[in-house]
């Protein structure tokens, strides 16, 4: 609603202009009401929260902050793993170096996915629903982060098992506790089992989260179609009664 005096745009549920204090219907300036509105700020806060752009920007900022936190926490874990290298034989040392390089790759993938999805959320168009599209992207994000990290770290853990043998499980558990650990952690077969279990878990997690994201969008689309159908039916009933 636009103010009849200054032309400023105001929310529909406002009675007075937030710029000049003019009554939006009569055009009369009422100073007392405007002064009271300036102290009672929750109406403006709720109006801001109800906007889709606010949710998109806020969620994007949270994801970007999470990417920074994950990177810092990952680097702390990465540095702590190097303590094992001091007392490791050459073959185990080679395994730890490969493990650490792949760990950095996994951290990069997770952080980059978070930044990409934050950008995608800010670019969502305005529509009837604004939380549901964000929820769908968030579900995909969970699967992408999990699959990226687990897939790379399962390969790293399998190589570490081949080269480091008995201590590999404890090292993987310390650096990547979310990676499933199959097998006994010994020998060539143990490394293959570890890799296969991690890659399978990454694939299942990705498929499951993508399915849930699409289910959310389908339900939203069904609700929109039902609403449109009801409006068409009501309009048809009104037209029939008039005729």
pLDDT in tens, 50-68: 777 888 898 999 999 999 9
| pLDDT above 50 for 169 | yes
Residue with tokens 């499933």: 180
DSSP string, 28-81: -B-HHHHHHHHH--HHHHHHHHTSHHHHHHHHHHHHHHHHHHHHHHHHHHHHHH
Count of structural domains within the chain: 2
68 plus 44 within the same structural domain: no
**Residues 35 and 121 both lie in one domain:** no
Do 39 and 59 sit in the same domain of this protein? no
Residue 178 in domain = yes
Give the list of residues 6+ apart from residue 159 with CB closer than 8 angstroms, or none. 95, 98, 99, 102, 191
231 and 197 in a single domain? The answer is yes
Same domain (yes/no): 59, 44 = no
Both 216 and 99 in one domain: the answer is yes
Q: Summarize the confidence of residues 201-206 as an average pLDDT.
A: 94
Residue with tokens 């102290």: 39
Neighbours of 67 (CB within 10 A): 21
Final residue of a domain: which of 31, 50, 69? Answer: 50
Is the same domain home to 28 and 61?
A: no
The answer to whether residue 86 sits within a structural domain is: yes
Residues 79 and 4 in one domain: no
Residue range(s) defining the domain that contains residue 60: 52-238
* pLDDT at 117 exceeding the cut of 90: yes
Structure tokens at 191: 């490394």
If asked whether residues 42 and 63 sit together in one domain, one would say: no
| Residue 218, pLDDT above cutoff 70 | yes
- Classify residue 37: in a domain, yes or no: yes
Q: What is the mean pLDDT of the chain?
A: 81
Whether 20 and 56 share a structural domain: no
Residue 45 shares a structural domain with residue 64: no
Task: Output 241 or 231, whichever has higher pLDDT.
Answer: 231
Tell me what pLDDT residue 94 has.
82
Boundary residue ending a domain (14, 32, 50) = 50
Q: 162 and 185 in contact (C-beta within 8 Å)?
A: no
73 and 87 both lie in a single domain? yes
Residues 6+ apart with CB under 8 A from 47: 11
Flag whether 154 is in a domain.
Answer: yes
Asked whether residue 225 is domain-assigned, the answer is yes
pLDDT tier, 115 (very low <50, low <70, confident <90, very high otherwise): very high
**Does a structural domain hold residue 243?**
no
Tell me what pLDDT residue 142 has.
95
* pTM exceeding the 0.95 threshold for the entire prediction: no
């Amino acid at each position: 609603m636009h103010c009849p005096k200054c032309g400023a745009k105001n929310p529909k549920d406002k009675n007075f202009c937030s710029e000049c204090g003019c009554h939006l219907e009569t055009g009369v300036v009422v100073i007392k009401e405007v002064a009271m509105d300036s102290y009672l700020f929750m109406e403006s806060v709720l109006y801001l929260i109800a906007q889709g752009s606010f949710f998109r920007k806020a969620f994007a900022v949270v994801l970007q902050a999470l990417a920074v936190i994950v990177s810092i926490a990952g680097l702390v874990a990465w540095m702590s793993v190097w303590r094992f290298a001091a007392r490791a034989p050459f073959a185990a040392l080679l395994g730890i170096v490969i493990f650490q390089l792949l760990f950095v790759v996994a951290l990069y993938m997770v952080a980059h996915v978070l930044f990409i999805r934050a950008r995608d959320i800010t670019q969502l168009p305005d529509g009837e629903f604004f939380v549901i599209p964000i929820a769908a992207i968030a579900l995909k994000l969970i699967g992408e982060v999990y699959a990226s990290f687990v897939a790379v770290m399962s390969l790293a853990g399998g190589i570490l098992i081949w080269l480091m043998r008995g201590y590999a499980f404890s090292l993987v558990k310390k650096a990547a506790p979310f990676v499933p650990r199959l097998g006994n952690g010994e020998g060539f077969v143990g490394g293959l089992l570890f890799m296969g279990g991690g890659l399978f878990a990454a694939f299942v997690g990705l498929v499951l989260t993508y399915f849930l994201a699409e289910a959310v969008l389908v339900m939203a689309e069904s609700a929109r179609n039902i609403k449109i159908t009801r409006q068409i039916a009501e309009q048809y009933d009104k037209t029939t009664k008039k005729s």
